[in-house]
């Protein structure tokens, strides 16, 4: 491959070709993102192809999950979704072409016969002769000598000895094509210029190159991405936390933050910038800066990055994202009250790192205080009652009832009582929310409003007077 083939073309045609056997895994999402960035950064085209030849495991439900995940991540495509299974006639036509040219042959060899051949030939690749009969598979002839070289844009040249490669089965006995044959034909006929996919496909690539060569097609350029591992160095799985895009969405992450984080798993900007809006990723991304080492997916780092994105969002966008998440998570009362939700988002934006963290922080604005016995027993003792009683005065009289005035008047109260600030503010927090964790106490009181704040403090005092340990 010449030097001019080692770099991405100005207008590449790339493809994302998931097999719909489950939800879109995080590794698959990164592959989709890298293809999308290459296409969008070079005025290229992204083809979405569903490699659904595994008819037992490929289901419409899984296809729908993949499309839903890509749309939520805001990764659009230019062509597709195209079904590989629906191209069966094209695959059969190419198999016939190879049979007619003598580059492929029917073979009834059993698995035991193949093993016996290998034992007799020093574990060399299986070589058969045309044998027709019931259940005859179709095999592609592989050269006895030389190498098949994968010119990988990330790894460099990777060589495979032809003598160790079996004559490839390209169609089963019932005539259905095998995966590597269908993929090679589809990539060629769809004029794919650059195949960007996971490292687990590297062993498939020489087989696909042999098919392309037999059919007379120029191969695309290949880039095999290092696989994702968890912080423990093992292949990424559910034990490391979220394993699919849907799980990340349910955990309250933002699409823009996920795109930013996934882009950095194996690739880095020249100046090691960490916070990159998608427009900047499009401008700066290049395959030649993807490393060879396995990348580590650490959900704690994603959570930190997501928090940065959430704090930097314009409030109206934050409210829209919160409304969609809360509606999906079964809190329609919050999404149905836009003014109160806006106030809730305004006071929690600096504190929540994911959308899932938002509801526990602002629930008190939409529901009565939660029952947290630990919070009550920890805070509502010693001088909590008298301090709450004293706080009722400023709460009833401060005007206007907003955070700056509440901070000033309650600060005066703390000085007058000669106590620490937490001796007043923590009982107030437990009284209005039921917990010891909330947005800032002055913001929380202001968002709750005078009437409800006073009502909740009075209810807490009544409980203290009754000596109850539970409401």
Q: pLDDT tens digits, residue range 414-448?
A: 999 999 999 999 999 999 999 999 999 999 999 99
* Residues 412 and 471 sit within 8 Å (Cβ to Cβ): no
List, in order, residues 6 or more apart from 279 with CB less than 8 Å away: none
Q: What is the pTM of this model?
A: 0.90
Tokens of 211: 């098919």
Instruction: Return the H-helix or E-strand segment holding 228.
Output: strand 228-229
Please state which of the ranges 19-23, 185-189, 314-318 shows the lowest mean pLDDT: 19-23
Torsion of CA 389, 393, 399, 405, to 10 degrees: -60
Q: Does residue 469 surpass a pLDDT of 50?
A: no
What SS3 class is residue 161?
strand
Tally the residues of the chain.
471
pLDDT of residue 431: 98
Phi/psi at 469 (5° precision): -100, 0
| Cα–Cα distance for residue pair 231/302, rounded to 1 Å | 13
Q: For the domain bounded by 373-466, which CATH number is listed?
A: 1.10.10.350
Q: Does residue 238 surpass a pLDDT of 70?
A: no
Q: Does residue 283 surpass a pLDDT of 80?
A: yes
pLDDT of residue 196: 98
Mean of all residue pLDDT scores within the chain: 93
What fold characterizes domain 86-225? Answer: Rossmann fold (3.40.50)
Phi/psi at 275 (5° precision): -95, 110
Provide the percentage of residues in the chain whose pLDDT is more than 90. Answer: 88
Catalytic sites, residue numbers = 238
Q: pLDDT tens digits, residue range 262-272?
A: 999 999 888 88
Q: Does residue 252 surpass a pLDDT of 80?
A: yes
pLDDT of residue 233: 82
pLDDT of residue 239: 59
In order, the DSSP letters of 168-220 are EEEE-TTSPBPHHHHHHHHHHHTT--EEEEEGGGGGGHHHHHHHHHHHTPPPP
pLDDT of residue 253: 97
Q: pLDDT tens digits, residue range 154-183?
A: 999 999 999 999 999 999 999 999 999 999
Burial of 383-418, coded b for 16+ CB within 10 Å and e otherwise, reads ebbebbebbeebbeebeebebeebbebbeebbeeee
pLDDT of residue 4: 37
pLDDT of residue 241: 57
pLDDT of residue 228: 92
Listed by start position, the domains of the chain span: 3-82+227-300, 86-225, 314-365, 373-466
Nearest CA among 185, 426, 199 for reference residue 295: 199
Q: pLDDT tens digits, residue range 92-125?
A: 999 999 999 999 999 999 999 999 999 999 989 9
Please state which of the ranges 20-24, 200-204, 390-394 shows the lowest mean pLDDT: 20-24
Can you give 324-345 as a three-state secondary structure string? HHHHHCCCHHHHCCHHHHHHHH
pLDDT of residue 183: 98
CATH class of 3-82+227-300: alpha beta
What beta strand segments (E) does 245-356 contain? 295-296
* Residues 83 and 52 sit within 8 Å (Cβ to Cβ): yes
Q: Does residue 55 surpass a pLDDT of 80?
A: no
259 C-beta neighbours (distance < 10 Å), count: 23
Same fold for the domain at 3-82+227-300 and the one at 86-225? yes
List, in order, residues 6 or more apart from 418 with CB less than 8 Å away: none
């Amino acid at each position: 491959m010449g030097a001019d083939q080692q770099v991405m073309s100005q207008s590449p045609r790339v493809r994302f070709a998931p097999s719909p056997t489950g939800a879109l895994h995080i590794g698959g999402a990164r592959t989709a993102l890298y293809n999308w960035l290459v296409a969008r950064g070079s005025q290229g085209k992204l083809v979405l192809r569903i490699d659904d030849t595994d008819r037992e495991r490929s289901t419409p439900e899984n296809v729908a999950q993949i499309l839903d995940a890509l749309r939520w991540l805001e990764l659009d495509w230019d062509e597709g979704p195209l079904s590989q299974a629906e191209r069966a006639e094209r695959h059969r036509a190419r198999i016939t072409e190879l049979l007619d040219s003598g580059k492929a042959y029917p073979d009834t060899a059993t698995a035991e016969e193949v093993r016996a051949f290998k034992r007799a030939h020093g574990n060399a690749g299986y070589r058969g002769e045309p044998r027709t009969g019931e259940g005859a598979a179709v095999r592609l002839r592989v050269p006895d000598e030389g190498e098949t070289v994968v010119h990988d844009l990330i790894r460099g040249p990777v060589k495979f000895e032809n003598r160790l490669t079996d004559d490839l089965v390209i169609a089963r006995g019932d005539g259905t094509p095998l995966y590597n044959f269908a993929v090679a034909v589809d990539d060629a006929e769809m004029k794919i210029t650059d195949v960007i996919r996971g490292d687990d496909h590297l062993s498939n690539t020489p087989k696909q190159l042999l098919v392309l060569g037999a059919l007379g097609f120029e191969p695309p350029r290949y880039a095999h991405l290092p696989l994702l591992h968890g912080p423990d160095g093992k292949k990424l799985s559910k034990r490391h936390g979220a394993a699919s895009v849907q799980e990340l969405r349910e955990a309250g992450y933002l699409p823009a933050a996920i795109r930013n984080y996934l882009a950095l798993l194996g690739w880095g900007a020249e100046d090691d910038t960490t916070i990159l809006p998608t427009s900047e990723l499009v401008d700066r991304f290049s395959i030649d800066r993807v490393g060879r080492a396995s990348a580590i997916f650490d959900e704690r780092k994603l959570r930190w990055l997501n928090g940065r994105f959430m704090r930097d969002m314009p409030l109206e966008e934050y409210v829209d994202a919160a409304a969609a998440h809360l509606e999906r998570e079964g809190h329609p009362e919050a999404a149905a009250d836009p003014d109160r939700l806006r106030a809730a988002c305004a006071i929690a934006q600096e504190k929540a790192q994911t959308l899932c963290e938002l509801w526990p922080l602002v629930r008190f604005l939409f529901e009565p205080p939660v029952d947290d016995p630990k919070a009550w027993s920890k805070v509502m003792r010693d001088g909590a009652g008298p301090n709450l009683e004293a706080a009722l005065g400023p709460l009833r009289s401060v005007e206007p009832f907003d955070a700056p005035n509440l901070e000033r008047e309650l600060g005066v109260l703390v000085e007058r009582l000669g106590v620490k600030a937490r001796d007043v503010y923590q009982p107030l927090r437990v009284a209005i929310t039921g917990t010891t964790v909330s947005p800032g106490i002055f913001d929380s009181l202001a968002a709750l409003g005078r009437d409800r704040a006073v009502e909740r403090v009075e209810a807490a005092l009544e409980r203290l007077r009754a000596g109850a340990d539970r409401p």
